[in-house]
Structure 1
Amino acid sequence: MQYNPALDGIRALSILVVVFFHCEVPGVGGGFVGLDIFFVLSGFLITSLLAAEYRNDGIEIGRFYARRALRLYPTLLLLVAAYLVLAPLLWPTDDRWLSAVLASTYTMDYAIAFWHAPLTIAHTWSLGVEEKFYLLWPLLLPLILKARRPIAWLVAAFLVASAWRYFVNGTWGWAQAYFSFDTRMSGILLGAIAALVRPTISRRVFMIACVVLAVLIALPTVPSHRVDEADMWRITVAEFAAVVIVSYAAAHAQSRFLSSRPMVYIGKLSYGIYIWHFPLVVLLNRAYGQPWWVTLSATLPFAFAMAAICYHWVDAPIKRQRRARLGSLVGSQ
């Protein structure tokens, strides 16, 4: 796949919204929709990548798993290690070993939904949602692409997943509907549909989607307090708005704002920012009751610094070694 800087710009906007939301910045009470954008973007990118592999030499599942593990696991393990060291001092009431196991095995999503796991690194629930997608999708996508009407199957899966979320919310509650993989896969599926269809999005429709997301973000209800059945519709609306924005950015790689250097760099750091920001938010905002501006002022530079360290000193060397090994393999053939 050809690199598209505008998609990194979308990552940048999404992670900033999520951080502002977690810091409880006024006017960003609906900032949780930033994760819906991430889910749609993941579905779009991974499906685009796997579909291209499928059309060429076929999907090499083992290599795909290895790439995902090398991209995601090192930074996560660094967070878990830091948490295990610091938890006795900063979060003494946490069951730190349980939290470490749940985060490392990508099972935090169901732990929060059904067991009320400790909060400090509970943000790794979204990583659990995406990791299950990474595990299943290389196996399922070839079967879907071989079907007579693959898009129809994906649309049906999206509708079933969305309906299932509403049913779970009404039957068991918002936590089970909000945090679990089976109830949050709808956005990923919508991104997958867009990757295969590649819809043409006009600038006017793109701007409308941006306004819709801005309105959703500005809504005052905070899901960590209460989400009812009506609020579940906000997730669906956010998913549709996100797929419009992602599809537009995919066709406009050189968007002046999204592909600008600052936005692209923040987008490249977005995974690390997400990994590192939340424990400090929990410490400052929830444990010590600091106002939002203190929490934000401390969290942003800390998360950016840790993300930059992980990106340049962990991710980049691993990527160089992987490319060097691939080059040597190609050269020997």
Structure 2
Amino acid sequence: MTCEKRLEYRADIDYLRALAVVAVIGFHYDLPGFGGGFVGVDVFFVISGYVIARLIWSEIGAGSFSFVRFYERRARRLLPALYLMILSTGVVAWFVAPPDYYRMFFGSAVSALLFSSNIFFWLQTGYFDLPTVGKVLIHTWSLSVEEQFYFLFPVVTWLWSRLFAEPTSRRSLGLVVAGTVALCVLNELWIKQSASAAFYVA
């Protein structure tokens, strides 16, 4: 089976993405029945993880994986829209935002460009604590988390493929399961210590 065949279009994934987006929008607009819509972000993360893992493993299996090509594709997909969004909101903020709020906006814009806005907002405030003008880029926290995943996961996956010639071997799957359980336990402990940190970082 060729790499292209394995990566044929999956309409069901796009349907799940659409449902996740609708859930998040419904939650933010306080629509009835969407009280738990924030989980749409988690659904989106899982979908992205699946798609990226599927892409990387198929290319590794075909002997065609390239870090440069992987990051170049991610940049073309995400950066133009991010730059346009920050530029347009920055122009509006320059004219309408009070100085203190504009300084907050500028800091969040820089952190978004550095894919660290999740850490920026974690250190600044809770998700719903900032005044509206000061948190126009707060949604970029999820993009930063996703980009951090894009930076780390290909490296980990490539190293894993070098350690395990057969990634579906019993030993490999056992380590994946053990690591997943350990991360879940760590996240639960983190939530008890600092829910805000767990929200933005974990």
Query: With structure 2 as the length reference, what TM-score do the two structures score?
Result: 0.83
CA contact (8 A) 2:108 2:121 kept: no
Q: How does 1:231-250 map to 2 (within 5 A)?
A: none
Q: 1:62 aligns with which of 51, 63, 68?
A: 68
* Cα 1:128–1:50 shift into 2, 3 Å: same
Q: Which residue of 2 aligns with 1:301?
A: none
Q: Which aligned pairs between 1:182-261 and structure 2 lie closer than 5 A? A: 183=202
Letter in 2 for 1:112: F
Pair 1:155-2:177 in alignment: yes
Q: Counterpart of 1:131 in 2: which secondary structure? A: helix
Residue number in structure 2 paired with 1:135? 151
- Give, in angstroms, the shift of residue 58 of structure 1: 4.0
Q: Does 1:17 align with 2:49?
A: no
Q: Structure 1's 159 and 94: CA in aligned 2 closer, same or farther, altered over 3 A? A: farther
The residue number in structure 2 matching 1:86 is 92
Partner of 1:2: 8
Question: Which stretches in structure 1 are left out of the alignment for 5+ residues?
Answer: 184-333
| 51 and 104 in structure 1: CA distance in 2 versus 1, 3 angstrom threshold | same
Residue 108 (structure 1) aligns with: 117
Matched, 1:97 2:119: no
CA contact (8 A) 1:53 1:59 kept: yes
My pick for the range that moved more, 87-96 or 130-139, is 87-96
Sequence identity (%): 33
Structure 2 CA distance, aligned partners of 1:58 and 1:152? 27
Amino acid corresponding to residue 54 of structure 1 in structure 2: I
Q: CA deviation at 1:110?
A: 1.1
What corresponds to 2:136 in structure 1? 120
In structure 1, C-alpha distance between the alignment counterparts of 2:174 and 2:120, rounded to whole Å: 33
Please, what is the CA RMSD of the aligned residues? 1.6
Letter in 2 for 1:26: P
Which of residues 28, 34, 54 in structure 2 aligns to 1:28?
A: 34
Distance (whole Å) between structure 1 residues aligned to residue 179 and residue 97 of structure 2: 41
Aligned to 1:77: 83
Q: Give the Cα–Cα distance (whole angstroms) in 1 for the partners of residues 41 and 173 of structure 2.
A: 24
Aligned-residue offset at 1:136: 1.0
Question: Which whole-Å CA distance do the structure 1 matches of 2:183 and 2:64 have between them?
Answer: 28
1:238-258 Cα shifts (integer Å, max 9, x gaps)? xxxxxxxxxxxxxxxxxxxxx
SS in 2 for 1:26: coil
How many residues of Structure 1 are paired with residues of Structure 2 in the alignment? 180
Q: Quote the Cα distance in structure 2 between the aligned partners of 1:119 and 1:26.
A: 25
- Does the CA-based 8 Å contact 2:121-2:138 persist in structure 1? yes
Q: Letter of the aligned partner of 2:185 in structure 1?
A: A
Q: Which runs of 5+ in 2 are unaligned?
A: 1-6
Q: With CA pairs under 8 Å and 6+ residues apart, which has the higher RCO, 1 or 2?
A: 1
State the SS of the aligned residue for 2:139. Answer: helix
Quote the offset at 1:151 in angstroms: 2.1
